Structure 1
Amino acid sequence: MVSFLQLFSSHVPRWLQVLLAEKFFNACIVHEEAKKNEKNIFCLDCCISICTHCFHPHCSHKLLQIRRYVYHDVIRLDDATKLMDCSFVQSYITNGAKVIFINQRPQTRQFRGSGNFCTVCDRSLQDPYLFCSLSCKVNYLLRTEDGLSKFLFECNYLPLNDSGLDDGLVTPDSVLEPSCSTRTSSGSGGYEEVWCRALASTATTMEVVRKKRTTLTVCRPTCPAVSEVSGSLMNRRKKTPQRAPLY
């Protein structure tokens, strides 16, 4: 009987094997003395991760920029869909771009409430998503389909996106919210809308609160005025204070 590891190595292209197993954002040993030497670019032609200082020899290759959110690697959905069918993989919006997680994230406990769940790892999802990450979809397809060939696309050119070379880090203040739409079929251009008004409202509220924190006038809207506080304290002191008897 063929093991899953053998199935993985024989049916998954080399670039995808390395992408799912690579540890990004480690310091580049070639440029260990340079600043911003984190390896956050993946070269599909060479199947290696590189830093921005390694970029020049790979500038004509197919490249993916890796980004991070809370210590987990993500890639832009637009880039991923040029390489394989990413339908039903839950996407998120961060810094104005849709991203998907490369690998599943560890869970401290299993949550089984109502709603949708990842077919592979049972992580809670929104409808109509079935996979929490790219790796979960790959694992599912390997177990249920005859290889990945019909889910992979031929991509001859994949430059870095228009934002250029950045450090790939998403700041803690950034709002990472579930996307309100997902591509239902590769290349078809059709979208199935997933309404998430509650989450959008929460994200908007967080943004308003974050902006208000920069001012001094609304830091605590429920606090009473200083004069009210002073008056309240003086009213408490109208009575003669009780002193302990002398012995």
Structure 2
Amino acid sequence: MDVTSSPSTNLPTWLESLLTEKFFEACIVHEDAKKNEKNIFCIDCCGTICPHCIYLHNSHRLLQIRKYVYHNVIRVEDAEKLMDCAYVQAYVANKAKCVFLNPRPQTKPCRNSSSICISCDRSLQYPYVFCSISCKINQILRDKEMMSKYLHECKVLTLPEPGSEDGFMTPESVHEPVLLFGSTEIVRKKRSSKYEVPTAELMTETTVNRRKSMPCRSPIN
């Protein structure tokens, strides 16, 4: 089941709207204003608004939507207030961790990857098993589990300080540090349909450095 195209009674309205809304389109109410792109999602109204609409939603839960490599992302800090994001691959951009809302199109088949998205087969870093929030939700629904088990009660969700970000993530981002576990058997169990967050005793962090080392020049004779 694809939550981006097939409605599901197992999903709350705000979550289904979040995954299907079109962001960064011009606000027709403030079409003459500057920075009128609709990059804010109002959870209570289940719709998108632009920064000039905020005064009408002061008491509502507002979620900032950002762009990273031309696709919609949200900060992990915000996402975890709303739902369980365990095993969704995170990225670091503008010094903030973020996750994709929906899977990105693939142009090449997955090859020689240590891990792939179990929903859309996108290549991932080990031990992640979902490339986006939508892919995790799709798998939960396929497993016929109750979505409510993975949602968190969030009564307050505010936007970052005005002017701190423009909604676009810089392309110089790197992958979030990979989580490594004590044994293959533990990984297999943790990567089951329950998608539980690994415990501190079984988890260590290591930073993935994708940059090449400095070239070594031969000594001058």
Indicate the TM-score class for this superposition, using the shorter chain for normalisation: 0.7 to 0.9
Residue 198 of structure 1: SS of its match in structure 2? Answer: coil
Q: 1:109 to 1:33 in 2, by over 3 A?
A: same
**Partner residue in 2 for 1:108:** 107
Q: After superposing the two structures, state which structure 1 stretch, 6-15 or 188-197, moved more.
A: 188-197
**Partner residue in 1 for 2:152:** 153
Q: 1:51 to 1:165 in 2, by over 3 A?
A: farther
Q: Over aligned residue pairs, what C-alpha RMSD do you find?
A: 2.8
User: Deviations for 1:97-141, whole angstroms, at most 9, x for unmatched residues?
Assistant: 100000000001212313100001111111110000000000000
Residue 121 of structure 1: SS of its match in structure 2? Answer: coil
**Partner residue in 2 for 1:192:** 203
1:176 aligns with 2:173: yes
The answer to whether the Cα contact below 8 Å between 2:127 and 2:178 also exists between their aligned partners in 1 is: no
Give the C-alpha shift of residue 163 in structure 1: 6.0
**Partner residue in 2 for 1:133:** 132
Whole-Å Cα distance in 1 between the matches of residues 199 and 158 of structure 2? 23
Unaligned runs of 5+ in 2: 180-194
Residue 140 of structure 1: SS of its match in structure 2? Answer: helix
Q: Which has a greater percent of helix?
A: 1
**Partner residue in 2 for 1:79:** 78
**Partner residue in 2 for 1:124:** 123
User: Deviations for 1:30-80, whole angstroms, at most 9, x for unmatched residues?
Assistant: 111111000000000000100000011112211110000121000000100
Whole-Å Cα distance in 2 between the matches of residues 165 and 142 of structure 1? 37
**How many residues in Structure 1 have an aligned counterpart in Structure 2?**
199
One-letter identity of the residue aligned with 1:30: V
1:12 aligns with 2:2: no
Q: 1:31 to 1:9 in 2, by over 3 A?
A: same
TM-score by length of 1: 0.72
Give the C-alpha shift of residue 197 in structure 1: 3.5
One-letter identity of the residue aligned with 2:177: C
The answer to whether the Cα contact below 8 Å between 2:178 and 2:207 also exists between their aligned partners in 1 is: no
The answer to whether the Cα contact below 8 Å between 2:66 and 2:168 also exists between their aligned partners in 1 is: yes
**Partner residue in 2 for 1:44:** 43
The answer to whether the Cα contact below 8 Å between 2:99 and 2:133 also exists between their aligned partners in 1 is: yes
1:167 aligns with 2:143: no
The answer to whether the Cα contact below 8 Å between 2:175 and 2:208 also exists between their aligned partners in 1 is: no
One-letter identity of the residue aligned with 2:58: C
TM-score by length of 2: 0.80
Question: Percent of aligned pairs with the same residue?
Answer: 49
The answer to whether the Cα contact below 8 Å between 2:44 and 2:60 also exists between their aligned partners in 1 is: yes
Give the C-alpha shift of residue 194 in structure 1: 4.6
After superposing on structure 2, the runs of 4+ consecutive aligned residues of structure 1 that deviate more than 6 Å are: 3-7, 187-191
**Structure 1 residues 47-62: aligned runs within 5 Å:** 47-62=46-61
**Partner residue in 1 for 2:189:** none
The answer to whether the Cα contact below 8 Å between 1:127 and 1:194 also exists between their aligned partners in 2 is: no
Whole-Å Cα distance in 2 between the matches of residues 125 and 158 of structure 1? 29
Give the C-alpha shift of residue 9 in structure 1: 2.0
Which of 1 and 2 has greater Rg?
Answer: 1
Whole-Å Cα distance in 2 between the matches of residues 136 and 37 of structure 1? 30
Whole-Å Cα distance in 2 between the matches of residues 86 and 12 of structure 1? 16
**Partner residue in 2 for 1:243:** none
Whole-Å Cα distance in 2 between the matches of residues 136 and 120 of structure 1? 5
Unaligned runs of 5+ in 1: 206-221, 223-247
